[in-house]
Structure 1
Amino acid sequence: MASCNSTMMYSLDAFLGLEDADYCEFSCSGRKTKCAKSSAFEPREVDSMPLTTALNKVLESACNGLSKVPIITSSSQQDIDAFIESTIQSNNLQDAFYVLDLAVVVQLFNDWVTALPKVKPYYAVKCNPSPSLLSTLAALGAGFDCASQSELELVTSMGVSAQRIIFANPCKMPSHIKYATSVGVNLTTYDCEHEVRKVKVHSPNAKLLLRLRADDRNSKWPLGVKYGALSSEVEHLLMAAANAQVDVVGVSFHIGSGASDARSYLDAIAAARGVFEKALSMGLPAMHILDIGGGFTVGNNGELKLAEAAKVINAALEQYFPEELGVSIIAEPGRYFAEAPTTLAAMIYGKRVREEVREYWINDGIYGTMNCLIHDYAVLCPRPLACASQRSNVSCAKLPLHKSTVFGPTCDSLDTVLKEHPLPDLVDGDWIVFPNMGAYTHCAGSSFNGFDTSAIPTYCVFSLNARGSSVALDTLKTSFHTECDFCDKLSSTSTEASTEESSPGEDSE
């Protein structure tokens, strides 16, 4: 079995044999557009196949060297652990690896559409740039929030068109602005006059979103200390863009990563409507895009759940941005899509017993995946997988627990993953499994001390959840052979600019 760690990743159009497929685009003419131009086989052929056969057909050629994505019974702890154990044994693995369940990604996307039908998700690539995850979201019709040239290169290399990308970094490097312009990405954010001047020089046809400061002060990472215009600065910044003849087409905000207070969305949406009105009172063109940022989670660690946030957001949008205004609503979720689908497996390779405490060494740690303990206030929920010591009871069910400390592989004492955590008695060759490890983990890994934890591979699976199997298959199929009815504002924002002045290497779509 090959791992999905290759940077050369087929997007999910290849899953359906649609190598020449167009991604779902915003229609600048207001007409619906077909997503697929041609097909190696008719997608409806899978309708008559048994479920597992159909899923294999849909998911084949997921990435280089992988003939098909393994299908497992469900995304339950037991079935994920069974896949991990099988993968370890069949590949004689001793290095840490991830398991990414693509079906969970599809479920989360479906849940998003149900909860926030008016809000198109633009996945925040920085959260987890796994090609497998990006391809799945691209196939489902998501857009992408990129913050650097490298992220832009990654997303565009997978066939995603410029119309589905926002360069959502309020303070950009000039060379990155030039690159974005060269590939046709014109929608970007700003929160100061200096950025207007910079954009004017390097991307005169850019379309700006004025980013407002909007903090949930109880979020894991409030962002207002670094980004966002104050209310007292709004009029000046709108006028600065107007004087520079750079179009401001909307407003953005971000209440912070891992938000906990849904009222922060309400306050920010109300403030955004005020900016829309301010622009009109100044005689500026009507804005038509609202970006409500990120902060969304599935609530694994007590944060605000999507459903709770959606109630407040939908009510606020109805009050301040009713449909008759014709405003396109987008968001920048990262953690919501990345965290839950990914599980980490790390092997024990060292042990020491001191009085009542067992101490273990594993081959991932603070300078790898577990950087989330420091940078993201993560809560770990480890479970043992005793592949070496308990072959007949790998889950260690009903075995006595002992206070255990778990260290990462580097020689830094800071590299401590768990302290006095209850674990059964384990030995070298046993494994520890960590669920919900896809958000702000792998992306921040390093090669400190010579341990290249940034190179941990990912194995993809597709689980047949009761809620996700047939629904997920239907979602992937319909992504390619049904019409996409998206609002036209974002596409026209980008295509108008590219019509006015084409740049070398610009996306021709």
Structure 2
Amino acid sequence: MSNTEVQQDIASDGYSIQGKSIGEAIKRQLETPFVTGTDVEWDRPFYVGDLAELRSQYLKWKARLPRIEPFFAIKSNPDPTAAKYLAALGVGFDCASQAEIEQVLDMGVDKDRIIYTHPYKNPSFLQYVAQQETPLMTFDSESELHKIKRIYPNAKLVIRILVDDKDSVIRLSRKSGVPLYEVEELLSLAKDLELNIVGVCFHVGSGCKNPNSYYDAVLRARQVFDQAKSFGFKMELLNVGGGFNESGITEGATFEKAAAVLGPAVDELFPSNDVRVIGEPGRYFVGSAYTLCLGIMGRRRAIIENEIDMDVIKKEKESNNYMYYINDGYFGSFGMMCLDPDRLNIKVLRKNGEYFYGKEINEDEKYPCTIWGTTCSSYDCVSKDTKLPVLNEGDWLYLSNAGAYSYVVASTFNGFDIPKIIYINSDKQ
């Protein structure tokens, strides 16, 4: 599907606001709410997705990592609109389940642009990809090799190795990746089973904060590449995984810093053009492409937990420290975002009818507050240490960089819907 066809498909959904800025789209949405049948959703949370940001991130990737093919980690945000747009740009896909693979195949994506990256696959899922002849997949254990031999012996296998991810927000090494000292044993078993190992993959962890982690990982991959060759395997693929940060992250391992380490490392340690190199960016593409808008449903004075000193409580009641209750929460968009508090830069969107998108509010006007989610659960706390001005019921907040691991993990617990998405294309070209 071409970019033009994608845009036409989006325009037919009724939520598209083409050619507008994010701020304009938000204002229009708050002043012209969703209408679903007889239900006017004027007080529901919503996202604004900017297709131009997806394209910008793609062009940046191609400019800084021209040798590495991006395979979008669709688990980070399976929004069909974003997926179609990325597919139209020529991006491949990192999938972890039958449903994800079905979604990608239904978009007409070529099978050589799909990698099945779950190291422990459901047998029925494996049978499905065998029927679809989608061969590229990862493994990191003996049991997986025996399962693949039984169900899909013609698969093209990529061994996932353990790398140092201690400097990442979410350490994937706790669950996946074979230690280097066990690699030889797996290679030997694969050889005995007459399976086809074609490459090596790794993942430095989600939200990597140390760009040098990529060099160390590529170095380990080179070692395993050579080991596999010594067993007679024809090695032709290196998968450098994910961990790449979105454009809104300006400290630590920014994408630019990571690319400055990773690109030269790949060229140094894998100089042959016979080796295909792919990566698995997820939040890199979608993180900064989505803005989440949140309404304040109520407020109350802050409470000091376990405090019985009535004088202290009275003093607290006289302060401007509030607890705010919003229309999304931990069981909604924030389930995984709360794992990385650095990304929870929640700001004022509308206060007393005045819009503040993209504007900063004087720090002297802000007070410590707690933001509670929309359900009745006491676990539903979004943030305990945010600073905001005094706000009222009916005011709105927003969170930029909200596109990764947000609505995709949301539930409908307590009967609350998952926020809808409206789309814009801020690119005027």
Residues 151-200 of structure 1: CA deviation (Å, up to 9, x unaligned)? 11222222222221100111111011111222221100011111111011
Q: Which residue of 1 aligns with 2:293?
A: 345
Q: Which residue of 1 aligns with 2:85?
A: 136
Larger RCO, structures 1/2 (Cα 8 Å, 6+ apart): 1
Q: Specify which structure has the higher proportion of strand.
A: 2
Residues 27-80 of structure 1: CA deviation (Å, up to 9, x unaligned)? xxxxxxxxxxxxxxxxxxxxxxxxxxxxxxx722326523854212xxxxxx42
Q: Residue 408 in 1 paired to residue 373 in 2?
A: yes
1:322 and 1:105 map into 2 onto residues whose CA distance is 30
Q: Which residue of 1 aligns with 2:135?
A: 186
Q: Which residue of 2 aligns with 1:80?
A: 22
Q: Does the residue aligned with 1:277 lie in a helix, a strand or coil?
A: helix
Q: Which residue of 1 aligns with 2:308?
A: none
Q: CA 1:129/1:376 → structure 2, altered by over 3 Å: closer, same or farther?
A: farther
The CA deviation at 1:350 is 1.2
The CA deviation at 1:355 is 3.0
Q: 1:390 touches 1:396 (CA, 8 Å); kept in 2?
A: no
Q: Which residue of 1 aligns with 2:283?
A: 335
The CA deviation at 1:279 is 2.2
Q: Residue 429 in 1 paired to residue 394 in 2?
A: yes
Q: What is the correspondence of 1:229-308 to structure 2 with a 5 Å cutoff? A: 229-282=178-231, 284-298=232-246, 300=249, 302-308=251-257
Q: Which residue of 2 aligns with 1:146?
A: 95
Q: 1:204 touches 1:246 (CA, 8 Å); kept in 2?
A: yes
1:63 and 1:147 map into 2 onto residues whose CA distance is 30
Q: Does the residue aligned with 1:171 lie in a helix, a strand or coil?
A: coil
1:355 and 1:445 map into 2 onto residues whose CA distance is 36
Q: 1:408 touches 1:415 (CA, 8 Å); kept in 2?
A: yes
Q: Residue 89 in 1 paired to residue 31 in 2?
A: yes
The aligned amino acid for 1:351 is: R
2:391 and 2:340 map into 1 onto residues whose CA distance is 28
Q: Residue 355 in 1 paired to residue 343 in 2?
A: no
The CA deviation at 1:111 is 0.4
2:403 and 2:379 map into 1 onto residues whose CA distance is 22
Report the TM-score, using the length of structure 1 for normalisation.
0.75
Q: CA 1:410/1:393 → structure 2, altered by over 3 Å: closer, same or farther?
A: closer
2:257 and 2:425 map into 1 onto residues whose CA distance is 28
The aligned amino acid for 2:347 is: R
The CA deviation at 1:359 is 2.3
The aligned amino acid for 2:406 is: T
Q: CA 1:67/1:350 → structure 2, altered by over 3 Å: closer, same or farther?
A: closer
Residues 197-226 of structure 1: CA deviation (Å, up to 9, x unaligned)? 101111121010011111221101111121
1:145 and 1:84 map into 2 onto residues whose CA distance is 31
Q: Residue 16 in 1 paired to residue 8 in 2?
A: no
Q: Which residue of 2 aligns with 1:456?
A: 419
Q: Does the residue aligned with 1:135 lie in a helix, a strand or coil?
A: helix
1:393 and 1:303 map into 2 onto residues whose CA distance is 28
Residues 94-122 of structure 1: CA deviation (Å, up to 9, x unaligned)? 10010011101100000000110000010
The aligned amino acid for 2:288 is: A
The CA deviation at 1:425 is 2.7
The CA deviation at 1:263 is 2.0
2:202 and 2:333 map into 1 onto residues whose CA distance is 28
The CA deviation at 1:338 is 1.4
Report the TM-score, using the length of structure 2 for normalisation.
0.88
Number of residue equivalences: 403
1:149 and 1:378 map into 2 onto residues whose CA distance is 33
Can you give the 5+ residue segments of structure 1 that lack an aligned partner in the other structure?
A: 1-11, 18-57, 73-78, 471-509
Q: Does the residue aligned with 2:178 lie in a helix, a strand or coil?
A: coil
Q: Residue 156 in 1 paired to residue 120 in 2?
A: no
The aligned amino acid for 2:28 is: S
2:71 and 2:356 map into 1 onto residues whose CA distance is 43
The CA deviation at 1:264 is 1.8
Q: 2:338 touches 2:382 (CA, 8 Å); kept in 1?
A: no
1:230 and 1:363 map into 2 onto residues whose CA distance is 44
Q: Which residue of 2 aligns with 1:440?
A: 405
The CA deviation at 1:460 is 0.5
Q: 2:343 touches 2:401 (CA, 8 Å); kept in 1?
A: no
Residues 119-139 of structure 1: CA deviation (Å, up to 9, x unaligned)? 001011111111111111101
2:388 and 2:172 map into 1 onto residues whose CA distance is 37
2:256 and 2:385 map into 1 onto residues whose CA distance is 35
Q: Which residue of 2 aligns with 1:9?
A: none
Q: 1:81 touches 1:385 (CA, 8 Å); kept in 2?
A: no
Provide the aligned C-alpha RMSD in A. Answer: 2.2
1:208 and 1:169 map into 2 onto residues whose CA distance is 12
Q: CA 1:437/1:281 → structure 2, altered by over 3 Å: closer, same or farther?
A: same
- Which of structure 1's runs of 4+ aligned residues deviate more than 6 A? 392-396
Q: Does the residue aligned with 2:161 lie in a helix, a strand or coil?
A: strand
